[in-house]
Amino acid sequence: MRIYTASSEETMRARKLLADWAGEGFLTKGQYQRLEQETVSELRTTNIFLRLILFLFTLISVGAAAALFFRVFLAGPSEQVTGIFLLIFAAVCYVAAEVAVSQAHLYRYGIEESLAVCSVGFLYAGMQAALFSGRPYSPKLDGVHFLVPAAGGVFSLWIWRRFGLWYAFLAAMVFALFLPSYWTSSHSAQHVIVALLYVIGVICVTALRSHHHFDYIGDEYSLVEAFLWLGIYLAINLQLSSLDLRAQWWGIGTTAASEFARSFYWTTWVLIWCLPPVVLARGVRQKDRFVIAAGAIVAILTFVSNKPYLGWPRHTWDPMLLGILLTGVTLFIRRWLARGPGGIRRGFTAARLSGKDKQWMNAGATVLGLVTPQSITPSPQARSADFRFGGGASGGGGAGGDF
């Protein structure tokens, strides 16, 4: 099923680990050079920046080529004809992606990824145009139209399995979101179906990854499992999965509570409190970075959405309390770990063991330092004519702006 051999993918993983260890000083330069020679792969890869721009320019060229084809060869085609040609483009893009890998040995190179993504996009648009020709998109409760997102989801899953592109799995999850609206008009049932689909996904992934410890497939399943846990949480958290969040949270529109049956609403409230410990426990037991991160995110989201769930008023100091809680928990964990022998407790440490962590920290500090001052400064809420306070639109850590 996989287009790359397991051996070559594991070799690519080994090369990355070697570079990381050499950067941290765990290997000498001589050792690194020798071992690097032993991990030569036939696959051709590149760094993240070139990968991104190669992806971008492939997307531009494919999109422009498709548009040019329609403009030159098909003057005013019917939607069905357009759909058929889009399906042909999907096939062409997919074959091109396969050829790019099998002939040019591209691996996370941007080009083959972009072609694979284009094939999913063309397939979805082509099926939509062919099946819904002449009609605007609207989910209907019948047995046919769900095939469009279903095909998109299945094909995305195939791309994920075939090429190992994690974002293709994410696309499959998004396609799955649309499916229930074709089967039932009940919002509660739609939430349940989406959550069930993701639960099935978690069960499958859990079963599959039990055979893969400490290899590249284990890493891949780890990310996918984290996405699925996040998906389950978002499906059952009725305060977050509503489309009109702003209206709900500030009491402008109808609240989620009134949309759903009382028992269903409160069941989901119980579930959003139960899920974070389950996910965190699973992540900690598996020592799985992505699942731990998913657990932390859903725990924070539970704190953030609890008040809207209960219908309690929000206070301006709520973010402060959340900040104190996060900081307190972090400091407690850090100190608890540090007090263990060698700074290790139950197999966990707060010390940095990988050079990648430092790179992420440095890049994150620069980008977030530039972005966050504007985002955390609240908009003015003037109480009287002579009192205006807020702004920060001109940078300066939120100190400037409109006064």
Q: How far is the CB of 270 from other proteins (least distance, A)?
A: 25
Query: Which residues in 275-294 contact other proteins (CB under 8 A)?
Result: 287, 289, 292-293
Indicate the residue among 56 and 196 with the shorter CB distance to other proteins: 56
Among 23, 26, 81, 132, binds other proteins (CB under 8 A): 26
Dist. CA 241–CA 14, nearest whole Å: 40
Residues 332-361 that bind other proteins (CB under 8 A): 333-334, 337, 344, 347-354, 357, 360-361
Under a CB-based contact definition with an 8 Å cutoff, are residues 168 and 174 in contact?
no
For residue 1, the minimal CB distance to other proteins (Å) is 9
Give the relative orientation of helices 262-286 and 289-310 as an angle to the nearest 10 degrees. Answer: 160
Residue 245 interacts with other proteins (CB under 8 A)? Answer: no
Distant-in-sequence, close-in-space partners of 284: CB < 8 Å, separation ≥ 6: 292, 348
| From 39-47, 83-91, 165-173, 252-260, span contacting other proteins (CB under 8 A) | 39-47
Given 3, 19, 84, 208, the residue binding other proteins (CB under 8 A): 19
| Minimum gap (Å) between residue 395 Cβ and other proteins | 3
CA-based torsion, 374, 377, 381, 384: positive or negative = negative
Q: Decide: helix, strand or coil at residue 349.
A: strand
Among 42, 52, 184, 277, binds other proteins (CB under 8 A): 52
Q: What residues between 370 and 389 interact with other proteins by CB under 8 A?
A: 370, 372-374, 376-378, 380-381, 383-384, 387-389
Task: Rule CB under 8 A: say whether 141 interacts with other proteins.
Answer: no
Least distance to other proteins, CB of residue 264, Å? 31
φ and ψ at residue 317, rounded to 5 degrees? -90, 0
**Burial state string for 269-297 with b = 16 or more CB within 10 A and e = fewer than 16:** bebbeebbeebbebbeebebebbbbbbbb
Name the minimum Å distance from CB 341 to other proteins.
Answer: 11
Question: Using CB under 8 A, which of 29, 40, 48, 143 touches other proteins?
Answer: 48
Position among 42, 50, 74, 196 found at the interface with other proteins (CB under 8 A): 50
- Note whether 102 binds other proteins by CB under 8 A: no
Phi, psi (degrees; rounded to nearest 5) at 106: -75, 140
Contact 35, 18 (CB under 8 A): yes
Q: Return contacts of 48-51, CB within 8 angstroms, 24+ apart.
A: 50/110, 51/108, 51/109, 51/110, 51/113
